[in-house]
Amino acid sequence: MISLASLPEKLHEQVLRAMWPGEEPVLVARPVPTIVNRVSKPYIFFLVFAIFFVSLFVFCSGFAALPFLALFIALPVGGIWRTYWQMQRTVYIITERRALVVRAAGRKAWQTLSWPLTAGLVKERVLRADGSGDLILGYESSRDAEGGTTSVPQGFFNLPELRRVEQILMDIAPVPRG
């Protein structure tokens, strides 16, 4: 894992703002930025479809509509780039009291997610063959286009050394009494 001091300046400032007075980090980690991940898969699917559609349309109608159709390719590429950009500006922190995610939500906006350390904090684990993976710590409800709600997973994504981070969480979290 990494040290708090090794973070880029703006990210370091945001982490210090997110932590409570007297709170010390037990673990500081960053996601491994990847192009293909849980968030970018829909964009990649749409990009493949868009490239096929644009190629077919240009082949059938000529190059006159190419600038307009380039928008079909630019939108998913922009979504993939934004996901990658946000991963580069994300940090995961475990303190003796809680688990935190600090990430960029825009050029100057930052988002902090926090979960108190309790037994059963990890809701779901996705372990990959290389030892990296995702720890789902909670779900956020969001409205879809039809007015229904969907659950969006929240937590630590694309973590290197997933087992080590999960073990640290289990060691610190209080044991349930019963």
Q: What gap in Å lies between CA 15 and CA 95, rounded to an integer?
A: 12
Q: Residue 11: its pLDDT value, please?
A: 94
Q: Residue 40: its pLDDT value, please?
A: 67
Query: What are the CA-CA distances from residue 159 to residues 43, 68, 128 (Å)?
Result: 21, 39, 10
pLDDT in tens, the chain (178 residues): 789 999 999 999 999 999 999 999 999 999 987 766 666 677 778 778 777 877 777 777 766 666 766 777 787 888 788 888 888 999 999 999 999 999 999 888 999 999 999 988 999 999 999 999 999 999 998 887 787 888 889 999 999 999 999 999 989 987 766 5
Give me 2's structure tokens: 């990494």
